[in-house]
Structure 1
Amino acid sequence: MRSGVSLSERSFTFVLWLVALAFAGFLIGLGSLVVGDLPEVEHRYTLEQFLDPGKSEATTTALKQVRRARNDTQAQTDQVQLALDAARAASAAARETFANWLKTRDSTQRVDQDPDLIARTRQLDALKAAERSVEEKLEGLAQADLGLAQTEAALMADDSAQRGEAQESLQASQRTQELRVFGYRLAVTLPLLVLAGWLLLKRRKTRNWPFVWGFALAAAFAFFVELVPYLPSYGGYVHYGVGVVVTLVAGRAAINALYAYRERQRMAEARPDVERRTEIATDQALLRLAKKVCPGCERPVDMASPDANFCPHCGIGLFERCPTCAHRKSTFERFCSACGSRAREAAAIQA
């Protein structure tokens, strides 16, 4: 019968699991930095890189000139508008003065004022003509601004078309770059996952098992968690596809392990009772007995019955009498808990 695991060994095992988790944590941190910095190996594309330098520069220069001309036209328009307001005010004041003068003339009926009437009328006509001249200048500026606005609209449409074509080229290049970066990340994380699976299959029972488990946890985290924020739209197919493959492999391994376990149990139940008990660790056997199941076949057993000395399912011995004090004890205990005597099988092995 194999000896059970001591308390110190359990403590060491717990510490080793902490070592495995710490190792995994540091690897996860390192992996997140590597995966996050992988895009730095590629240069960043900008829209200006995909514009035709000649056409773009010409259009930009023309737009600047047109906008500068529009600003100048607007400034002239503001000045002419002020002049027009002044001309209209002068014309309105002259008309009011002329109207008052006419009223006075009509009251006095003085014929000698007719030359003055002609002069005043000519003065009003001159003011009106000046006002009309300013209006024509303002209309000319408005017409010029309209032409500049149409030119600006055409240049902006041309610039927008150029930028639209450049944007399409930029997006195509970014998609290609995104595919390359995803390939870099996949080339880093997928081999780690494969290596972790191989280590779990081949090295998980070696003395360096904490590092094997730590590496496996870090590799699984890197592929199934850290890679998620960086997945492109098509990356989910790879991510879930690998997940399906891993699940199928793990599931198949679990199914094979289950059938292998059943076969081992069937063959073990056909072997002698003493030989079977030597392959079950004491702690494991006592733990299963405490759960009221057989340590050999793990089927339920009525532990409350004082006559339940053998498993009714597989026939393995569960309890016996101490050869020294006749105390009923588990057959998996190496020493009697009542008198401390060595069990029969342990004594025979010692002899």
Structure 2
Amino acid sequence: MKVGSRSSERWFNRALWLVALAFAWFLTALGALVVGDLPQVEQHYTLEQFLDRDRAGPTAEALRQIRRDRQENQRRVEQAELELEAARSASAAARETFSNWLKTRDATQRVDQDPGLVSRTERLDALKEAERSIETRLEGLARESLDLSERGAAQERVETEIRVVAAERLRAAETGQELRVFGYRLALTLPLLALAGWLLLKRRHTRNWPFIWGFGFFAAFAFFVELVPYLPSYGGYVQYGVGIIVTLIAGRAAINGFQAYLARQKEAEARPNEERRTEIATDQALAHLAKKVCPGCERSLNLADPNTNYCPHCGIGVFERCVRCEQRKSTFDRFCHACGEPGAVARPA
């Protein structure tokens, strides 16, 4: 906050900063929608798009036929098991009847001449033969089921191989798509950041500064926050690599800025006292003095000592006597606080 500014001016500045923040918020919300909708310019890939049609079609049809054959085989097995169970029940009932009949009849010495015994025995043999026939049919169905399982497993291996190849193609296509979408986002946000930087450097002191600062906040947020989640990963190599590059660039810029600042300070401290004071803004100088810091070299000053009129570090004059009333005042005051006499910064050259 400027020390020499009016109270109404400070409140107007606060209101204008609210305007800047509101403008940045609306721009950021709109930018988030645009950045989020950029993937819609690309088509949505599916695994079926990358399958080998010459192999996938026949393999899928063969698997469907094998599944139908297995279902039919299972149905026939269940039917045969029911028939076997019925045949075994009939055979068990006939054996029990035959056993009871043997106990109650009068046995003869010549069994082959006994028509009842022979017919019952033949009937039991027929029932047993029916059981064996159904069991043989079940064995054939079991072999057929095993063959179908082996054929199905072979076809599933082929289908898995086809899908693995298609999945690799899908991943490659999605990677390329991610890079293209990231390029779209970068092409949208990077010019905005460059434009915001130019505006802040060249136009931030104009009357439309709230909109320029709001646009700068929006561009910085869009580039450094909105763009980061869409940065390609590749196991972290890209993200960490970009982080290293950004850190090197920012660090180098900070080092160069600091060295340039030190060079400017040394150059300024070598110039005459009056010339240096005219180059320092009044509000800036008063703000530094309020913090007990030299306006010229930004080192600490002992303002409690009434004899401290010059900075002991750079030699710039910070206090002087009024030419009219001899009161001690800051050399950066526009008017004397005791008599109103114009100071050096307010007197015409």
TM-score by length of 1: 0.84
- 1:324 touches 1:341 (CA, 8 Å); kept in 2? no
Distance in structure 2 (CA, Å) of the matches to 1:199 and 1:58: 64
Secondary structure of the corresponding residue to residue 311 of structure 1: coil
- Report the alpha carbon displacement of residue 264 of structure 1 after superposing the two structures with TM: 4.4
Alignment partner, residue 9 of structure 2: 9
- 1:224 touches 1:239 (CA, 8 Å); kept in 2? no
Alignment partner, residue 58 of structure 2: 58
Amino acid at match of 2:132: R
- 1:51 touches 1:166 (CA, 8 Å); kept in 2? yes
The 5 A counterparts of 1:189-268 are 189-234=189-234, 235-236=238-239, 239-240=242-243, 243-244=246-247, 246-248=249-251, 250-268=253-271
Alignment partner, residue 92 of structure 1: 92
The 5 A counterparts of 1:106-121 are 108-109=106-107, 114-121=114-121
Distance 1:344 1:67, change over 3 A: closer
Alignment partner, residue 271 of structure 1: 273
Alignment partner, residue 305 of structure 1: 305
Does residue 1:341 correspond to 2:337, yes or no?
A: no
- 1:4 touches 1:281 (CA, 8 Å); kept in 2? no
- 2:273 touches 2:316 (CA, 8 Å); kept in 1? no
Alignment partner, residue 80 of structure 1: 80
Distance 1:293 1:66, change over 3 A: closer
- Report the alpha carbon displacement of residue 129 of structure 1 after superposing the two structures with TM: 0.6
- RMSD over aligned CA atoms reads 2.9
Distance 1:215 1:252, change over 3 A: farther
Which structure ranks higher in relative contact order (CA pairs < 8 Å, sequence separation ≥ 6)?
Answer: 1
- 2:269 touches 2:296 (CA, 8 Å); kept in 1? no
Gaps of 5+ in 2: none
Q: Identify which range, 189-198 or 160-169, moves more after superposition.
A: 189-198
Distance 1:199 1:324, change over 3 A: closer
Q: Deviations over 1:306-335 (max 9, x none)?
A: 333333344444444555555444343334
Amino acid at match of 1:80: A
Gaps of 5+ in 1: none
Distance in structure 1 (CA, Å) of the matches to 2:273 and 2:25: 46
Of all paired residues, the percent bearing the same amino acid is: 57
Distance in structure 2 (CA, Å) of the matches to 1:163 and 1:348: 86
Amino acid at match of 1:247: A
Counting matched residue pairs gives 342
- 2:335 touches 2:343 (CA, 8 Å); kept in 1? no
Amino acid at match of 2:262: Y
- Report the alpha carbon displacement of residue 84 of structure 1 after superposing the two structures with TM: 0.3
TM-score by length of 2: 0.85
Distance in structure 1 (CA, Å) of the matches to 2:345 and 2:40: 67
Alignment partner, residue 184 of structure 1: 184
Alignment partner, residue 132 of structure 2: 132
- Report the alpha carbon displacement of residue 217 of structure 1 after superposing the two structures with TM: 2.3
Q: Deviations over 1:141-181 (max 9, x none)?
A: 22222222222222222222222222222222222222222
